Amino acid sequence: MSVKQILVQAGVDQGAKRRVQIAADLAARFEAEISGVFLSPAAPSMYLGAGIEGTPPAAVLQDLTDAHSRTVLANARAAKVTLEGAARGKAVGWREIDGASPNELIEAARTADLLIMPGPPENTREGVFAPADTVALAAGGPVIAVPDTSSATSVGRNILVAWNGSRESARALRDALPLLTRADQVAGVIVDHPAAARDGEQSLEAFLRRHGCRSVSVQRLPEGGRPASEVILQHAAHVVHADLIVMGLYGHSRFREFILGGVSREMLDDSPIPLLFSH
- Per residue in 176-203, pLDDT tens? 999 999 999 999 999 976 555 567 899 9
Q: What is the mean pLDDT of residues 1-11?
A: 94
Question: Domains in the chain, start-ordered, CATH in brackets?
Answer: 5-44+71-146 (3.40.50.620), 158-278 (3.40.50.620)
Model confidence over 39-63: pLDDT tens digits? Answer: 999 887 655 554 455 567 778 778 8
Tell me the CA distances in angstroms from 129 to 31, 69, 223, one per residue in order.
31, 18, 34
**Mean pLDDT, range 76-85, rounded to an integer:** 97
pLDDT of residue 63: 82
Instruction: Give 222-263 pLDDT, tens digit per residue.
Output: 888 899 999 999 999 999 999 999 999 876 544 333 445 678
Q: What is the mean pLDDT of residues 84-99?
A: 95
Contact (Cβ atoms closer than 8 angstroms) between residue 208 and residue 181: no
d(CA 102, CA 130): 4
What pLDDT is stored for residue 42 in this prediction? Answer: 86
pTM above 0.75, yes or no: yes
So what's the pLDDT on residue 53?
A: 59
Report the distance separating Cα 174 and Cα 169, nearest Å: 9
pLDDT of residue 255: 38
Across 57-75, average pLDDT:
87
pLDDT 10s digits, 141-179: 999 999 988 999 999 999 999 998 889 999 999 999 999
| Per-residue pLDDT, 61 | 78
Q: Please say if the pLDDT value at position 107 is more than 50.
A: yes
What pLDDT is recorded for position 57? 78
